[in-house]
Amino acid sequence: MQYLVSVIDDKVNPGSDDRQPAISEFNERLIAEGYWVFAGGLADTESATVIDNRGGQAVFSDGPFVESKEYLAGVWVWETPDLDVALKLAAEASKVCDRKIEVRPFR
Amino acid sequence: MSGPDIQDAITSAHRDEWARVIASLTKRFGDLDIAEEAAAEAFATAVEKWPADGVPPNPGGWLTTTANRKAIDRLRRESKRDDKHKEALVLTDDDPPEPLGAIEDERLRLIFTCCHPALAMETRMALTLRMVGGLTVPEIARAFLVQESAMGQRITRAKAKIKAARIPYRVPAAEDLPARVSGVLAVLFLVFNEGYLATGADTDPVRHDLTAEAIRLTRLIRALLPNDGEVAGLLALMLLTEARRTARISASGELITLGEQNRGAWDAALIAEGHRLVRERLAAGVAPGRYQILAAINAVHTSARDVRDTDWSQILALYDQLARLDSSAIVLLNRAIAVAELDGPEVALADVDRLEEKLAGYHAYHAARADLLRRQGRSEESRAAYDKAIELAGNTAETAYLTRRRDQLG
């Protein structure tokens, strides 16, 4: 079962910015234990561009599709046998990243 | 067997076997939806067939077999549209039984699944009442004071989440058990309370099936976690409450309040067991949690041979201790009732009135006010409060009691 694991940061109250070594170490473990499928950090929401081509002509607009104080800062994809395993790892991930984590199954 | 006997057999099979049928099918098919639908179909078939064919010698076995067949029929119908289902069906047909977790009770696996922390607390309670307690959606909706359609949706969404997110059907590993138990206790307490003060005009005022099931399951959890103070506390609380059950409803179906109960009718064995558990927790010397304090309050009540011997100052001290853990309006309301015994109804009424904003929709708030106003001779205000309490109360015995008290006002 694959889960999208989103790292949620908060513009008003951001997490600490020295987490990379801890995250790398955590990633090594995910790989070693067979849960790791994919991971990536995302650039600032300011770097996002939204494209809407539903109306015949593509409209490009600057910025993320939703303005909010919370935003997506990075993602993992994990392969685990069930939600309990994913939740346990996510609890560790939240500590490691010093950020909130959302776990959602793929369909 | 005559009609009413068949009806009794179906009712008791539903009470005794519902959770077992659900648990057995969930284990086999890994899907609460299929399990619930097939179980409901099996009971509907029993209602149809038992009056003509007679009650089978092993109703639980008959229901499980019938439900299994219904589930397989359903999967076969679906497999015509989807090859993956057919494959799943073939695989599950000869599945060896899975090894059980720390707890060897199918119903506990079901409870831990329904009480999974990834579900909202209200959802856990609703799902447990439906899947484990076998309550209907309208009954649960009444217990939660929400619309039936909203409750139906909540349960449907919960089952969908369990399936989509793959919430496992199992008892958590030993090291995860303590953290997961508190949610289970909250659910079992709610199941117990729904049995003890059943809501709804057509249900019995006391549903012994639910109180007994809650006690049985709490005992199982206690056997597994004998050192968990809150498990012991909740069990003691349930036993001390259950002990008073038969003294609590009059022959005419009216609620008899604690002070007016015939204490000789209390179940001495349950009280002794409850007191033993409370003493055990006191001796443990660990700061008690909510259930242990509630159990201690009930131990004080049940220690008094006559209501006039009740040690109200100890009860108030325990409510103060409880309010430090949980300062909810309902705790403060119960505390005020103890205050009335010590400091009089006027002081207590001032405490109660402060809770109006939070408890205006709760019948016990109006019932407490009505009683305090009555004791001060403020009949008109008391009558209005009784009217409000009667309007909001869902329990038939309680409604009968409140109506009589109102009509006795001068």
Tens of pLDDT, residues B338-385: 999 999 999 999 999 999 999 999 999 999 999 999 999 999 999 999
Q: Of A78, A79, A83, A106, which to mutate for an interface test with B (greatest number of B Cβ within 10 Å)?
A: A83
Chain B residues near residue A82 by CB distance under 8 angstroms: 166-168
Q: What is the pLDDT of residue B263?
A: 95
Question: Could A83 and B172 be called an inter-chain contact, meaning their C-beta atoms sit closer than 8 Å?
Answer: no
Residues 6+ apart with CB under 8 A from B163: B31, B32, B33
Q: What is the pLDDT of residue B383?
A: 96
- State ipTM: 0.87
The dihedral over CA atoms of A74, A79, A82, A83, expressed in degrees to the nearest 10, equals 0
How many structural domains compose chain B? 1
Chain A residues near residue B172 by CB distance under 8 angstroms: 84
Mean pLDDT of all residues belonging to chain A? 94
Residues 87-106 of A with CB under 8 A from B: 87, 103-105
B354 domain residue, yes or no = no
Please tell me the distance in Å from A68's CA to the nearest CA on chain B.
Answer: 24
B315 domain residue, yes or no = yes
B67 domain residue, yes or no = yes
Q: How many CB atoms lie within 10 A of CB B215?
A: 21
**A58, A52 contact by CB (below 8 A):** yes
Please tell me the distance in Å from A101's CA to the nearest CA on chain B.
Answer: 13
Q: Which CATH superfamily is domain A2-105 in?
A: Dimeric alpha+beta barrel (3.30.70.1060)
Cα-atom radius of gyration of chain B, to the nearest Å?
23
Kindly report, residue by residue over A48-97, the tens digit of the pLDDT. 999 999 998 999 999 888 888 999 999 999 999 999 999 999 999 999 99
Rounded (10°) angle between helices B208-224 and B177-196: 160
Quick one: average pLDDT of B323-334? 94
**B370, B405 contact by CB (below 8 A):** yes
**B323, B331 contact by CB (below 8 A):** yes
Q: What percent of chain B has pLDDT over 90?
A: 60
Question: Could A87 and B118 be called an inter-chain contact, meaning their C-beta atoms sit closer than 8 Å?
Answer: yes
Q: What is the pLDDT of residue B200?
A: 64
Output the pTM of the full model.
0.75
More confident residue, A104 or B410: A104
Find the closest chain A residue to B168 by CA distance.
A82
**B201, B223 contact by CB (below 8 A):** no
For residue B93, pLDDT over 90 is answered with no
B357 domain residue, yes or no = no
Quick one: average pLDDT of B305-328? 95
CB proximity A63 to B under 8 Å? no
- Tell me the residue range of the domain where B88 lies: 3-245+261-342
DSSP string, B315-344: HHHHHHHHHHH---HHHHHHHHHHHHHHH-
Whole-number Å distance between alpha carbons of B22 and B41? 12
**What's the pLDDT band for B95 if we cut at 50, 70, 90?**
very low
Question: Could B164 and A84 be called an inter-chain contact, meaning their C-beta atoms sit closer than 8 Å?
Answer: no
Kindly report, residue by residue over B99-132, the tens digit of the pLDDT. 444 445 677 889 899 999 999 988 998 898 899 8
The alpha-helical segments, DSSP class H, found in B80-197 are: 83-93, 106-114, 121-131, 137-144, 148-164, 177-196
Chain B residues near residue A101 by CB distance under 8 angstroms: none
CB proximity A1 to B under 8 Å? yes
Where are chain A's structural domains?
Answer: 2-105
Nearest to B318 by CA among B301, B343, B304: B301
Q: What is the pLDDT of residue B280?
A: 95
B360 domain residue, yes or no = no
Chain B residues near residue A91 by CB distance under 8 angstroms: none
Q: What is the pLDDT of residue A103?
A: 98
The separation between CA B126 and the C-alpha centre of its own chain, rounded to angstroms, equals 10
Nearest to B168 among A84, A105, A107 (CB): A84
The residue with tokens 């041979």 is: B305
Question: Could A82 and B167 be called an inter-chain contact, meaning their C-beta atoms sit closer than 8 Å?
Answer: yes
CB proximity A51 to B under 8 Å? no
